Structure 1
């Protein structure tokens, strides 16, 4: 695939202690990474072809599935599966339901050995952004918000994580901007900060298009774009 083509991607923001001291799960990309080296990011990555066929424990919640369907032909379950898989691969955290999964496909067998099937329960679609032109890789990323209370794993145990992200940690939301963040992560943080005490699915979802002439933000499900 042409590295400059836009690939579908999913990113997951896990929020902990939202009622008292809100913290978010982030890690630092390696210095030799082609895409966003050294930056602190949320777990996430490209949607794999096999993510379309992953049997989720339950469907994506209707409001979020409807928003995901706006201007997209990719099934909501594929995006949710990608978010859950990336969370597992990059942090070792499990968003799933206790159940046997003897026929798990390659890429999910480690997850299945924990005794869980992936579940989008509690996932909320909160942001969409397209990587700007000029970068070595471009993604059409959908950002999901999840509460740490939905994790089926110890939130402080990163022993099952792969090595794509280092220095995994729960960063206080109020201090996150002190880290070396990509610009789009800063934009998403503002959206998350506004939703800390709002647990209902958003009525509209910001879509940061990253047009060359104007960084246009449209509201998926809304009536008009915002500049």
Structure 2
């Protein structure tokens, strides 16, 4: 069976925010390779497409109520928990960082979670907040319906500077001060999400709505998810 790689796929992205950085609040970013089919040579947050196995991985703790409710409205097919799981998996695969709680897995461990499980942790969504949704415009070699989650670095169950277990999908992994992030070569949507993170830091409160860039049709639209 041939897979249409340009078909719209559900995806999850995780923005990890570090408040104790010496140069002010910082976010974790990495550089995609020059030959990557999607966003080559761009600095991005860890993230990727939803895997079929993400729906069966048990979370040690669920998403906070507000995020779970919004995702339930936004993803009526019930994939909200799987998207949170995918965000944690992508963070692990691309950076080697652990967002989880100590504990043994019940039953067999999926192959792409073997390394995570070997650290003695189970994935936990308790520290995630759903903050943004964006759909890739038509005509791109890869298209994603991406939900962006925000997590605090203090929720990590590991040294936030230890990238020794990262895959080679992202290079130059680093904590980028928010004040300097826009100086990097960024995708447009990443710039927009950074602005949202900065706005939330200034307000210090949970937003009443979630931004949504909808590119499913011939014309891009912007909405706010309640």
TM-score by length of 2: 0.93
1:195 to 1:120, Cα distance in 2 relative to 1, 3 A? same
Q: Which of 166, 179, 185 is equivalent to 1:174?
A: 179
Equivalent residue, structure 2, for 1:7: 9
Alignment size in residue pairs: 221
Q: How does 1:117-136 map to 2 (within 5 A)?
A: 117-136=122-141
Shift of 1:199: 5.4
Question: Match of 2:18?
Answer: 16
Q: State the alpha-carbon separation in 2 of the partners of residues 65 and 136 from structure 1.
A: 31
Q: Equivalent residues in 2 for 1:40-59 (5 A)?
A: 40-59=43-62
The 2-side partners of 1:216 and 1:64 are apart by 22
What 5-or-longer segments of structure 2 have no aligned partner? Answer: none
Three-state SS of the structure 2 residue aligned to 1:89 is: helix
Structure 1: where are the runs of 5+ without partners?
222-227
Structure 1: how far apart are the matches of 2:49 and 2:224?
23
Structure 1 runs, 4 residues or longer, greater than 2 Å off: 197-203, 210-215
Quick one: structure 1 residues 111 and 198, their matched pair in 2 at CA, closer, same or farther if it must change by over 3 Å? farther
Alignment of 1:176-215 (within 5 A): 176-198=181-203, 200-210=205-215, 214-215=219-220
Q: Deviations over 1:111-140 (max 9, x none)?
A: 000010000112000000000011101000
- 1:84 paired with 2:117, answer no
Does the 8 Å CA contact 2:89/2:113 hold for their aligned counterparts? yes
Of residues 62, 65, 69, the one that matches 1:66 is 69
Q: Which of 105, 108, 111 in structure 1 is aligned with 2:110? A: 105
- Tell me the secondary structure at the aligned position of residue 108 of structure 1: helix
Give the direction of change, closer, same or farther, for the CA distance of 1:6–1:18 in structure 2 (3 Å limit): farther
Over the aligned positions, Cα root-mean-square deviation in angstroms equals 1.6
> How far apart, in 2, do the equivalents of 1:74 and 1:113 lie?
29
CA–CA distance in 1 between the matches of 2:171 and 2:214? 29
